[in-house]
Amino acid sequence: MPMGNKYGTHRVIDPVGAMPQTAQKINNDMSVVYDNEILIDVIALNVDSASFTQIEEEAGGDVDKIGKKIMSIVAERGKQQNPVTGSGGMLIGKVAKIGSALKDRDLKVGDKIASLVSLSLTPLNIKRIVKIHPEIDRVEVEAQAILFESGIYAKLPSDMDEGLALAALDVAGAPAQAAKLVRPGMSVMVLGAGGKSGILCCYEAMKRVGPTGRVIAVIHSERSRKTLEELKLAHAIVRADATKPVEVLDATLAANNGKEVDLVINCVNIQGTEMASILPVKDDGTVYFFSMATSFTRAALGAEGIGKDVNMIIGNGYTKDHAEITLWELRENPALRKLFETQYVK
């Protein structure tokens, strides 16, 4: 077969000239594999939390309707990209075919890998949905997918269950970015601290702030408090509604001796939490929006509207060595690993 474009634009159907992620429809014909593509037999999808939450709410929690919605999205777009949130997720599967131009990679047919690029740009063809696990946003499938030449992936490690690796790699960008952003002595607030990405960010923040720093975990439900306390993942745990900015601000100030924080990490999977992230940050501080439910228009205009001079970082799911950093967290902390095995592996 001929060479395709490195970034996958040869698979774009509509609109012509778009990148695969922004395209409305891409070619998911798996009978044709270009020389610089990798064909994957997909085992499971981990749908982005914001996306799955939206689909679940639209379906009224009905698992059959969730499955039908996912199938309809893929049939229409050629990829799993939620038309409301714009986000996708990631997958695990076995390498079925490697294009001749990629033979020099450390990869062979039969290897199990996790894609580290979003499903929102990945050509996907689902034959059938085997099972849906709403509690962990996972969908077992019989399907095939294409990884472009530029697509990044991770071989599944031999020292942990594939479900465990998938659960961690699904949010690998968040704790790895936290590792880059948090410095000794910082005050850090994690919004949505009770979720999977929030827990990992709290863990990284606690490692890095040192004895003079402070980590504040903001949770929505009291169910998360026990986990955060037992694993010692925060100096203070407060409950507040992330859609109510002043409530979050007041709770944060109360937990931080009346002071605004240096850094906020937003891991919430619902819309309308931009200002709850911006209000508690001091001028010249930083907000990291990992949440794919974020409206960056609301964030930019909201910060302007309250006169906040803060650095706002888009939640890029990739940062250098993010897979290794995240998997290492599970290796170095048995209690954290046990939590993930208990809550996020099926």
CATH topology for the 173-340 domain: Rossmann fold (3.40.50)
Q: What string of pLDDT tens digits covers the 346 residues of the chain?
A: 789 999 999 999 999 999 999 999 999 999 999 999 999 999 999 999 889 999 999 999 999 999 999 999 999 999 999 999 999 999 999 999 999 999 889 999 999 999 999 999 999 999 999 999 999 999 999 999 999 999 999 999 989 988 899 889 989 999 999 999 999 999 999 999 999 999 999 999 999 999 999 999 999 989 999 999 999 999 999 999 999 999 999 999 999 999 999 999 999 989 999 999 999 999 999 999 998 889 989 999 999 999 999 999 998 778 889 999 999 999 999 999 999 999 988 7
What pLDDT, on a 0 to 100 scale, did the predictor assign at position 61? Answer: 96
**Crossing angle, helix 173-181 and helix 196-209, to 10 degrees?**
20
Question: What's the CA gap between 145 and 96, in Å, rounded?
Answer: 10
Residue 155, strand partner residues: 113
Could you tell me the two tokens for 303?
A: 């910060």
Query: What is the distance between the alpha carbons of residues 26 and 169, in angstroms, rounded to a whole number?
Result: 25
Asked whether 114 and 154 are in contact (CB, 8 A), the reply is yes
pLDDT at residue number 293:
86
Can you give the pLDDT at residue 346?
A: 73
In the chain, where are the structural domains located?
Answer: 9-156, 173-340
Q: What is the 3-state secondary structure (H, E, C) of the chain?
A: CCCCCCCCHHHEEECCCCCCCCCCEECCCCCCCCCCEEEEEEEEEEECHHHHHHHHHHCCCCHHHHHHHHHHHHHHHCCCCCCCCCCCEEEEEEEEEECHHHCCCCCCCCCEEEECCCHHHCCEEEEEEEEEEHHHCEEEEEEEEEEECCCCEEECCCCCCHHHHHHHHCCCHHHHHHHHHCCCCCEEEEECCCCHHHHHHHHHHHHHHCCCCEEEEEECCCHHHHHHHHCCCCCEEEECCCCCHHHHHHHHHHHCCCCCEEEEEECCCCCCCHHHHHCCEEEEEEEEECCCCCCHHHHHHHHHHCCCCCEEEECCCCCCCHHHHHHHHHHHCHHHHHHHHHHCCC
Tokens 């208990």, residue located: 342
